[in-house]
């Protein structure tokens, strides 16, 4: 099967306009005849559910938490990008487009990225209209800050709680549609499969997490906005419930999975401490605006940070990358920290940390200013570590954070399964091999507010508007398969907890498929993962039954999917014989340890087709054309 990304022709500036014009429209009076399932209530899910309902479609919306407002988007801290150029510092749609393509290390689709940059301004307008309390200057106008990978200030923020405020904005729009009866909300439901009829996505199977009952829902189209798979590493900055289940099950039903090996490791997290830890906490990257990253010049220096004189501090990012300094993109900053620690310059008890120091910023701007900008982040740091970042530098280390890879989608954000749309972090579309800070929120809302509402119409206009029903044979069969799998997990009755398996998988992937990868390690992981999976199915212990509220069962189901998905992640990493963005193969680096791409052989998106658990998936390539931003060796020097 040839991948058709359906990219419109013509100059890039006019593609989205023309495409919108070319898309068939659904007559306003007919919209209510179509029912659309939206899985997920994060920025992508809530914004699309609300927007589709406003247009008149009937929407069913699902999430596994107790309320749509809990989706993981709530945790995003730093901000959201938009090419508004309010500070008049040289930003433009083209520059945001350029920065994103370059930041993604030339592995993203130009047309999608351009559209994202074009829409970015509307997102801010929309959010302000909803009452999102963005930070403001005394003039009353919106404030901006800069973020990694950019030399302009284009990031809008609401203290360190931007994701929360944007999500509550989308949630309020969603709530309004729920009250109006246009969206039916189903919280505490876990989608466990997509139902296909005649090759089209026609519904989903869910488990009602409160009662354990299996439920089927039919619709004219299914939209997945189920977030990323960063938790495959067990320890990550994602919420503990984030998982790959929805996208993985869709993959098993025919949706291609693209670029799973593009995972982002975030440079500024609170370092690991203790065995019992269940997740890592991110400190927003915005901290790198004012904080300076350093390690002692001497290896194994055990002096307290404040006792180390200026001359014996190595501000390695500023030295190595004079023009971007502490604001280099995440992959570059993460690898640099790893390198410092590998070479013995690490600080803190575990020696797996570097300093992020605010001393100079406090001296320059005063404590009050720094407090206003980062107060809640400092407080969070202090709560977790018991140390006061106003008087001593923070210790930070990289951690798994974001998934650039995801289900393959075309320009309409439709997967290879007709009628199955994928948006937000769950798709692979806009960030290439590395995502710039503050761009995920932008993408989730762009997809939800401004892309799908148009493109789904194009699909529906060509499809039937006859009422859909969940009586079909396909619904019965898929539901039986889902139930059988749950029963199988419960029947194992072994000795190890699902969490324990997850931990083992996570550690294996972090060691061999984390910040730096090589063929040897990847091959080892490829042997080990099926073994862990086999043991899981023989030895996992899940207490309770399937007919009740059972959090262990939920967890085990998610871990089972991670154990299958992890293998694809490693395969993709092994096949990509180059380094790009978040994918760093030790065999492929420049003499000064920068990622070395191989554009001749790997300038494509790798879309994998499922062939069975443990079986080699089929690789499909979507060639990437760079008509506007010519690939060069990324340089932040």
Partner 1 sequence: MLDQLNENLITEGKEPISFDSDCREGICGMCGAVVNGLPHGGEKGTTLCQVHMRSFADGSTITIEPWRSAAFPVIRDLVIDRGAFDKIIQSGGYVSVSTGGAQDANALPINADAAESAMDAAACIGCGACVAACPNGSAMLFTAAKVSHLAQLPQGRVEAKRRALAMVDRMDEQGFGHCSNHRECEVFCPKEISGAPHRALEPGIPARAARPRLVLEHPQIRKITDLISRPIPLLSSERDISFVGRGPAHGLRVNPVSGSFSSYYSNGFRDGLLVRGR
Ligand X SMILES: Cc1cc2nc3c(=O)[nH]c(=O)nc-3n(C[C@H](O)[C@H](O)[C@H](O)COP(=O)(O)OP(=O)(O)OC[C@H]3O[C@@H](n4cnc5c(N)ncnc54)[C@H](O)[C@@H]3O)c2cc1C
Single out the residue of 380, 456, 513, 532 in contact with partner 1 (rule: CB under 8 A). 380
Q: Does 149 bind ligand X (CB under 6 A)?
A: no
Specify the DSSP class assigned to residue 451: I
Closest approach of ligand X to the CB of residue 574, in Å: 26
Q: Which of residues 153-182 bind partner 1 (CB under 8 A)?
A: 158-159, 161, 164-165, 168, 171-173, 175-176, 178-179
Q: Which does 128 bind (CB under 5 to 8 A by kind): ligand X, partner 1, none?
A: partner 1
* Residue 574 near residue 567 (C-beta atoms within 8 A): no
How far apart are alpha carbons 113 and 119 in whole angstroms? 10
Q: Which does 589 bind (CB under 5 to 8 A by kind): partner 1, ligand X, none?
A: none
* Residue 107 near residue 432 (C-beta atoms within 8 A): yes
Q: What angle do CA 600, 602, 604 make, to 5 degrees?
A: 115
* Residue 269 near residue 398 (C-beta atoms within 8 A): yes
Q: Does 213 bind partner 1 (CB under 8 A)?
A: no
| Closer Cβ to ligand X, 384 or 625, answer by number | 384
Closest approach of partner 1 to the CB of residue 219, in Å: 20
Q: Does 226 bind ligand X (CB under 6 A)?
A: yes
Q: Which of residues 240-259 bind ligand X (CB under 6 A)?
A: 242-243, 245-246
How far does Cα 157 stand from its chain's mean position? 19
* Binding segment toward partner 1, per CB under 8 A, in 25-33, 195-203, 379-387, 594-602: 379-387
Q: Which does 44 bind (CB under 5 to 8 A by kind): partner 1, ligand X, none?
A: ligand X
| Closer Cβ to ligand X, 400 or 603, answer by number | 400
Specify the DSSP class assigned to residue 159: T
How far apart are alpha carbons 147 and 134 in whole angstroms? 16
Single out the residue of 8, 187, 212, 631 in contact with partner 1 (rule: CB under 8 A). 187
Question: In 404-444, at which residue ranges do the beta strands (DSSP E only) sit?
Answer: 406-407, 420-422
How far apart are alpha carbons 336 and 594 in whole angstroms? 10
Q: Which of residues 61-90 bind ligand X (CB under 6 A)?
A: 62-65, 71-73, 75-80
Closest approach of partner 1 to the CB of residue 349, in Å: 15
End-to-end CA distance of the chain: 42
Q: What angle do CA 36, 123, 126 make, to 5 degrees?
A: 85
Closest approach of partner 1 to the CB of residue 84, in Å: 7
Single out the residue of 14, 27, 464, 551 in contact with partner 1 (rule: CB under 8 A). 551
Q: Which does 492 bind (CB under 5 to 8 A by kind): ligand X, partner 1, none?
A: none
| CA-wise closest residue to 98 among 173, 152, 34, 18 | 152
Closest approach of ligand X to the CB of residue 329, in Å: 13
360 contacts: CB under 8 Å, gap ≥ 6: 292
What mask of x and - would describe binding to partner 1 in positions 481 to 520, judged by CB under 8 A?
--------------x-x-xx--------------------
Specify whether 330 is catalytic.
Answer: yes
What mask of x and - would describe binding to ligand X in positions 368 to 397, judged by CB under 6 A?
------------------------------
How far apart are alpha carbons 296 and 562 in whole angstroms? 39
How far apart are alpha carbons 289 and 93 in whole angstroms? 23
| Closer Cβ to partner 1, 365 or 500, answer by number | 500
What mask of x and - would describe binding to ligand X in positions 282 to 301, judged by CB under 6 A?
x-x-----------------
522 contacts: CB under 8 Å, gap ≥ 6: 512, 513, 570, 573, 574
Q: Which of residues 451-510 bind ligand X (CB under 6 A)?
A: none
For residue 562, give both structure tokens: 């991670």
- Catalytic annotation, pick one of 35, 189, 249, 330: 330
> Alpha helix (H) ranges present in 387-518?
440-445, 452-462, 473-492, 498-513
How far apart are alpha carbons 34 and 24 in whole angstroms? 15
Known catalytic residues are: 330
Residue numbers of the site for ligand X (CB under 6 A)?
Answer: 39-45, 62-65, 71-73, 75-80, 162-163, 189-191, 225-228, 237-238, 242-243, 245-246, 282, 284, 401-402, 424-426, 438-441, 444
């Amino acid at each position: 099967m040839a991948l058709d990304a359906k990219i419109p022709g013509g100059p890039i500036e006019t593609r989205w306009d023309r495409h919108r014009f070319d898309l068939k429209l659904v007559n306003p009076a007919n919209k209510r005849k179509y029912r659309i399932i939206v899985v997920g209530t994060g920025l992508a899910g809530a914004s699309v559910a609300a927007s589709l309902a406003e247009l008149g479609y009937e929407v069913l919306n699902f999430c596994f938490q107790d309320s749509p407002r809990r989706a993981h988007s709530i945790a995003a801290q730093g901000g959201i990008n938009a090419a508004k150029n309010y500070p008049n510092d040289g930003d433009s749609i083209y520059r945001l487009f350029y920065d994103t393509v370059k930041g993604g290390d030339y592995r993203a689709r130009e047309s999608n990225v351009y559209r994202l940059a074009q829409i970015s301004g509307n997102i801010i307008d929309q959010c302000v209209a909803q009452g999102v309390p963005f930070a403001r200057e005394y003039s009353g106008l919106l404030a901006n800050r800069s973020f990694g990978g950019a030399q302009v200030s284009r990031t809008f923020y609401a203290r360190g709680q931007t994701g929360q405020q944007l999500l509550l904005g989308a949630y309020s729009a969603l709530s309004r549609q729920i009250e109006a009866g246009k969206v039916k909300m189903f919280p505490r439901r876990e989608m466990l499969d997509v139902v296909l009829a005649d090759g089209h996505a026609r519904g989903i199977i869910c488990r009602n997490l409160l009662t354990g009952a299996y439920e089927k829902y039919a619709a004219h189209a299914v939209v997945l906005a189920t977030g990323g798979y960063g938790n495959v590493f067990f320890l990550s900055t994602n919420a503990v419930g984030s998982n790959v289940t929805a996208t993985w099950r869709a993959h098993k039903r025919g949706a291609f999975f693209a670029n799973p090996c593009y995972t982002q490791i975030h440079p500024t997290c609170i370092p690991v401490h203790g065995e019992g830890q269940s997740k890592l906490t991110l400190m927003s990257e915005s901290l790198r605006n004012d904080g300076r990253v350093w390690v002692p010049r001497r290896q194994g220096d055990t002096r307290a940070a404040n006792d180390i004189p200026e001359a014996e501090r190595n501000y390695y990012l500023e030295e190595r990358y004079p023009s971007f300094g502490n604001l280099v993109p995440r992959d570059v900053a993460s690898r640099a920290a790893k390198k410092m620690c590998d070479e013995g310059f690490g600080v803190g008890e575990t020696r797996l940390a570097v300093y992020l120091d605010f001393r100079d910023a406090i001296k320059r701007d005063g404590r009050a200013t720094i407090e206003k900008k980062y107060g809640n982040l400092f407080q969070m740091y202090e709560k977790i570590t018991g140390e006061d970042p106003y008087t001593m530098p923070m210790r930070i280390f990289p951690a798994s954070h974001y998934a650039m890879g995801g289900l393959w989608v075309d320009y309409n954000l439709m997967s290879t399964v007709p009628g199955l749309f994928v948006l937000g972090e769950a798709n692979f579309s806009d960030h290439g091999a590395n995502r710039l800070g503050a761009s995920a929120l932008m993408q989730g809302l762009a997809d939800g507010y401004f892309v799908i509402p148009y493109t789904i119409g194009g699909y529906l206009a060509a499809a039937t508007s006859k009422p859909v029903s969940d009586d079909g044979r396909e619904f019965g069969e898929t539901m039986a398969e889902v139930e059988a799998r749950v029963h199988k997990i419960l029947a194992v009755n072994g000795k190890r907890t699902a969490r324990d398996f997850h931990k083992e998988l996570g550690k294996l992937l972090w060691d061999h498929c984390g910040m730096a990868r090589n063929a040897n390690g990847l091959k080892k992981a490829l042997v080990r993962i099926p073994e862990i999976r086999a043991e899981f199915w023989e030895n996992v212990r899940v207490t309770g039954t399937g007919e009740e509220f059972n959090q262990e069962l939920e967890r085990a189901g998610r871990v089972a999917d991670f154990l299958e998905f992890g293998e694809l992640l490693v395969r993709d990493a092994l096949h990509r014989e180059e380094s790009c963005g978040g994918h760093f193969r030790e065999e492929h680096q420049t003499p000064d340890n920068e990622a070395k791409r191989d554009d001749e052989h790997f300038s494509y998106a790798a879309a994998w087709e499922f062939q069975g658990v443990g079986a080699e998936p089929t690789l499909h390539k979507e060639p990437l054309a760079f008509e506007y931003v010519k690939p060069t060796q990324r340089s932040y020097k």
